[in-house]
Structures are given as structure tokens and as C-alpha cells.
Structure 1
Amino acid sequence: MKRVAALLLSTALAGCQAVPGEGPLAGAIVADAGQSGAEIGRKNATVFDIVDVNGQSARLVSDYVSSTLNRRFGIGGGVGRVVIGVGDALKVSIFEAGSDGLFSTQDSKQTSIDLVVQPDGKAAIPYVGSVQFAGLTLEQARQEILEALKQKAVEPDVIVTSMSTASRNVTVSGAVGKSSVVPLSLVDETINEVIAKAGGPVAQPYETYVTLVRGKKTGTVLLKSIIENPSENIHVKPGDQIFVARDPRRFTILGAVKANQRVEFGANDLNLLEAMGLAGGGSDYALDMKGYFIFRYEEPDVVMSLLGRERFNEMLRKGMNTDSQGRYPIVYRFDMSKPDSLIVGQTFPIKNRDVIYASRHPSVDFSKFLNFVAQPVGIANSGFSIADNINSINN
């Protein structure tokens, strides 16, 4: 029995490296930050850097204004040169000075002709024949018809009016009042105006995402950003596709907290302290106050500003890569043991799909180890008592 007890004790000591834990300690996160996969011994490890958050860095992150749509598509200079296209409905009004002309009578000196531009870009007008409309402005079309009538009609004049613009449609679908094919007018129209024509968004701007597809380019931005940043409210163009989706913003909280969970923002904005309160806060007995982290894929402009160009280029050489949206992995660290952290935490914004990780204190693992060891030691003590009792009986 003494041998059994000794064996159990040695097994417990050998297993000290296998003490379970909930996620990495703060020291492990800091140790891996800024290291390449080869340097940390994992070839395909994600390379990231760490930023200690203070008042200055918090303001930099908070003041950043995303310009996804403007950067990708450009707000442009308005609608530019508006031309007639295939499928457009036009009204051609022809006037003559005389009362016995081709298009005039004693009762009326004008004739109106309704036409639709055909797939070949042309439409027929009596006594003129087929006229090329597609690619021309209304004024150019007017001049074409007028020139063709000068030798046929009596002092003719022409007015060309656009009745509908099938060639200038934009498709709006998704979480809007009514999915629609919206015809563009001849004046500037922005994303917000086109969405309004489709009945407007059905959800709050802070949980509504707008995706614009133009040719082979795609860009997605929060409707809230379009409203707050006018440069994102770009002009739409014929053929654009706009998809509106309701996707409540969420963050995930893990580690030494009351509960590991995914939490909806439920508000227009959310800072770190509000997020922690919304999730129930950390565990009083297990939390490392110096080990609050936010794991995020951050915009390249922000990462470069936080790290500096030299450090940023160094991280690229070490293998730091972007996600599908061109953002870089970054970890923000907060020291909640400092009084000003309660001020800084109010200015640091939480973003959609952030992961807030509260590291446990190193003493937690030591306590687990002691409990782990105590179990076989207790068994061993029982074994010693049994062995002593057996020896007493034998004697």
C-alpha cells in the first residue's frame, strides 16, 4: 500500500504540466506578439502584434473614419454625361410652321411620337427612318432628328423627352421596405436616396449593412457609417446592385469572466467598459487585472498609425497577413489595475465580431495544481492508514 501511495504521488507530480486552463495566460499572449511562426515554433501560426492602449491610442482608434465605399468606388463628380440607352422610352414632339406639313394640320402644328429604343440602339420615326439613339444625349438626339427633317418638313423643330429610363436602373433588395428595380433620374442620386426609393431600411442603421456591387467590385459598409460619413454616401450608377442586410453587431467575451458568450450590441455605439458590463464583468477571484485583451482584425490605416511604418513593415516581413477584407490582426491590451483605465475604456470603441479576452491570474493555475496534487496525496494518506491497520492485525 505504501508503494501504491508513492506511485500516486509521483503520478501527480509528473502531471503538473498538464494542469488544465481556460485559454492562454497574459504572458503567453505577450510572448507570441510580434513573433514570426518560426520564432514561436509554429510554422503556420497567425502573426500578430500587440498594442498597449492608452489615451492617445484609444483616440486614434476612436477617431478613425472608415471609407470603404469611397475608397473602392469613389464618390465621383455626379452623374456626368447622361445618355439614352436600350429600353428607354422617349417622346419625340415634332413642330412645323405650316398647317399642311408632314406632321401638322389645320388643327395642330405638332405631332408627338412615343418610342422605345430597341436592342440595336435604334428607333424608327416616320419620314426619317431608323435613328440611332443609344449613346446620345437628349440634345444630340434632337439635333439628329432635326437635321433629317430640314429638307422634308416646313421649318421643323423637335423636342425629345425622356419618359422612362430602363437603361438606368439600380437593383435594391434585402432588408428594405420593398425590394425594387429603381430607375435613376437625370440628377445625382446617392445610395441613401436609392434605398429610400425602395422603402428604406427595415432595421436600425447600427445593425444594417449595405453591400454595393458594381461590375467586378464589391464593398460592404454599415449604414450608420454612410449616415455619419457623407463621403461614404457615394453616387450610384446604372447597373449597380445594392443589397441591404440586417446583421446585429456582436462581440464575443471569453476567459476569466462570469460566462463565455456572444453578446449583441443593442446600441448605436459600445465602448469597452459598456461591453464588459453588458457581458456581466469578470470573475473577481480568477481575473488578471493587467490581462484584458481585444483581438481584432483592424483597418490597415489604423494599424500603420499605431505601429509606425518601420514596425509595420517589419511585421509584414515576419508574415503578418490580411483577412479577406484587407484588415490586419492586432491585439489591444488594457491594464485595468490603473485608475485612468476607467477613462480610457470609455473612449475605446468595440467593433463588430471583436473578441474580448480576460486572462486568468497565474495563481489560478497554481491553485489548480495544488488541488490536483492534494487528491492523490489524500489517497496516499488513506493508504498509509490502511497499511498501518493491516500491520497491527498481523502483529
Structure 2
Amino acid sequence: MLPGSGPKTGSVMDADRSERLRNIKVIDLSQQVVTQLAQAQQQLLFSEVFNTVQQPNLLIGAGDILEVSIWEVPPALFSGVFIDQRSGAGATQKITFPEQMVTQDGTINIPFAGHIPVTGKTTRQIESVITGRLNGKANQPQVLVRTVRNNTANVTVVGEVASSTRMPLTSRTERLLDALAAAGGVRQPVSKMTLQLTRGKTVQAMPLDHIIRDPLQNVVLQSDDVVTLMHQPLSFTAFGATGKNEEVNFEAQGISLAQALARVGGIQDNRADAKGVFVFRFGQKAEEGLTAGMPGASSLYKQPVIYSVNLRDPASFFLAQNFMMQNKDILYVSNAPSSDLQKFLNMVVSVVYPIVNISNAVQ
């Protein structure tokens, strides 16, 4: 009948023995458990998933704008004269054709060369095709093809950025942070941002500050990549005999159990059971063999799990430093058994003391 903030330590530890709570696993935190959880929760790095070292040659597509220039030795097929001052008396003739957009059928038109197929080719390949078409017509032609505007090889940047944009790719091999800079940066603190890169059917996310700190994760972008900046406030909720009971936000890179306890003011010395510190985690992947006294197994399952920590054991503080909190975790600290006695005595005093005062007053 005494008031309380939640179940006692014994009730939580026996949860997996209860018929009503038989689907809940109670796991004592140990070095083996922490190690296996760290392996199970380890995220793949961008450098492992998107391991392209260099950007491939940008290929021309329909909608791109090209400029074609042709040099000839006199007498020239094309009109227009360009004098190279460094060549002294020698001279070449040059003509630059108006900019052309690659048509839907993937061609551009060059006089005396006809329709040139350019889709799926690099500028050097297009130069070779045009040169081949002009051999025998122009006098020792030299061709230069330049991409004026790239409308097909782009990266899309969306999410919590200053301005969503489509960034054209160039031969300088743009990277993730280049795309972020092109979008004007993020609108939220870097420590609270997650960057997600979508390439084809592959989707991978990492905390933004990890990408900034590790140059290997600033991977080279590919055409049609989608870069999404997400502000996802992660949080855990603290209940029981902690310094404060509230929902606490934490950074995208995550925090440890030790940090979580510090952010809620630790445990209350006058009422907390240091043996009864628990983390409730629902729907989290857990190692099937991670039960008290059992070796870890390789198979995984999803079910509610309660991780138990005994803070009376000095070694548990090292475990708490390596046990990472997850989004929507519940941190609960149970009351010590002696707190019930203190509550009972307070109730007795609160009832008896007024009676004694009245009796004394009457006498």
C-alpha cells in the first residue's frame, strides 16, 4: 500500500519468470554482453559501403549543353581565322559553333559531319568521333568539345539544409561535404545531424560530425546520388530514483549509459537501490544467448529486453561507459528496500504525532 515510483529490483529481475511477462528477457550487463551488443549495433561506414575511390568519367546525356570548337591548318574548310601569336608566321583557323543541347535522341549536329551520337560518351570520345567524320573534308582538323552546362549528372541535396539544391557534378570529383556546402550548410547543430546517402538501392546513414572528423567518410559522389540531412532528436526517458525524471535528448553520435546517468543527475543516494539500475529496450535486436550465465549465440531476434546494472560493483562503471543508449530507451532506477521502511515510519509519525500533540494539549 506504500507509494512508489515503479517496481522493486526483485520484481524486475524476475520478469522473465512471470507467465504474464514471459516474452521479456532480463540480461545482466557484462563485458561479454557489451562486446556483443557493440558488434550487433555497429554501423557500416560510408568508406565501406560506397568504396569508389575516384569518380568515373562523366558521360554526356540528353539535355546537356555542349560547345564544339574546330582548328584547321589553312586552307580551311570552315571560316574564321585565329592567329596564334606564339607560332610566329604560322597560323591556324578556328571556328566555334553555337552551344547545342543534346537532343532526346542523343545527338548534336556538326556541319559536314552530320548528326553525332554523344549520349553515353565522354567529351574525348566525342572529339574522336567528330575528327573521324571530318577527315578527308577538313584540313588536319583538331576538335575540342566542352561541357557548358551539365544537366544530367547531378546530386540532389535535401533535408535540413539552408537551401535544397541539385548540384552538377564536374571532373573535380565532388564529395559529400561539397554537396553540403553547395546547399548552404545545415540548419541545426552539427552534433544533432545525420547524413543519409542514397545511391541506387543502397541507403546508408552516419552522424554528420563523424563524416567531418574522418576524411575517409567524405566519399566521392556519383551521378543521381541523393544526400539527405536529417535532424532526428534522439532521446531516452528516465524514471525512478534518478536525480530527475524526464525525457532527455542526446546527440546523433550517441551517448553511453554512464553519460545518461550523469545527465539525469545520477541516482538518489537517499532512496535508490544501486543494484537496481535497468535499461528497458523494446524491439531492439538482441543476441539470443545474452541471458545471465549463458554464452552468446549468433542468431538474432526482436523482443523486449531489460538490461540490468549493479552499480555497487566497481567494474560496472566501466561497463556503463561502453554500453550505448538507443533512441526511446527507458532508464529506470528502483527504490532501495529500506526506503519502504522510511516511508512507513514517516506515515506513522505523520499520524501519531498530531494525536500526541492533541493529547498533550488536552492534559
Same structural fold, with TM-score higher than 0.5 when normalized by the shorter chain: yes
Change (3 A) 1:334 1:175: same
Change (3 A) 1:191 1:304: farther
1:273 aligns with 258
1:67 aligns with 44
2:153 aligns with 168
Does the residue aligned with 2:162 lie in a helix, a strand or coil?
Answer: coil
Whether 1:135 aligns to 2:120 is yes
* CA positional deviation for 1:41: 4.6
For the 8 Å contact 2:36–2:287, the answer to whether it is kept is: no
Change (3 A) 1:338 1:346: same
Identity among equivalent positions (%) equals 28
1:191 aligns with 176
Distance 1:156 1:49 in 2: 79
Q: Where does the alignment leave 5 or more consecutive residues of structure 1 unmatched? A: 1-15, 322-327, 379-395
1:26 aligns with 9
Aligned amino acid, residue 330 of structure 2:
V
- Bigger RCO of structures 1 and 2 (CA < 8 A, at least 6 apart): 1
Change (3 A) 1:304 1:193: farther
Distance 1:305 1:345 in 2: 20
* CA positional deviation for 1:342: 4.2
For the 8 Å contact 2:234–2:252, the answer to whether it is kept is: no
For the 8 Å contact 1:97–1:155, the answer to whether it is kept is: yes
Change (3 A) 1:290 1:177: same
Does the residue aligned with 1:227 lie in a helix, a strand or coil?
Answer: helix
Whether 1:158 aligns to 2:158 is no
Whether 1:85 aligns to 2:61 is yes
CA deviations over 1:27-63 (Å, ceiling 9, x no partner): 3443345x8xxx84568x4x54624145x76577679
For the 8 Å contact 1:96–1:103, the answer to whether it is kept is: no
* CA positional deviation for 1:227: 2.8
For the 8 Å contact 1:99–1:105, the answer to whether it is kept is: no
Q: Where does the alignment leave 5 or more consecutive residues of structure 2 unmatched? A: 84-91, 353-363
1:146 aligns with 131
Change (3 A) 1:205 1:298: farther
Normalising to structure 2: TM-score of the pair? 0.76
Aligned length: 339
Change (3 A) 1:142 1:24: farther
For the 8 Å contact 1:251–1:263, the answer to whether it is kept is: yes
For the 8 Å contact 2:15–2:21, the answer to whether it is kept is: no
Distance 2:156 2:51 in 1: 19
Distance 2:50 2:294 in 1: 26
For the 8 Å contact 2:274–2:312, the answer to whether it is kept is: yes
Aligned amino acid, residue 93 of structure 2:
K
- Pairing partner for 1:283 from 268, 273, 294: 268
Distance 1:231 1:48 in 2: 39
2:357 aligns with none
Greater share of helix residues, 1 or 2?
1
Change (3 A) 1:155 1:347: same
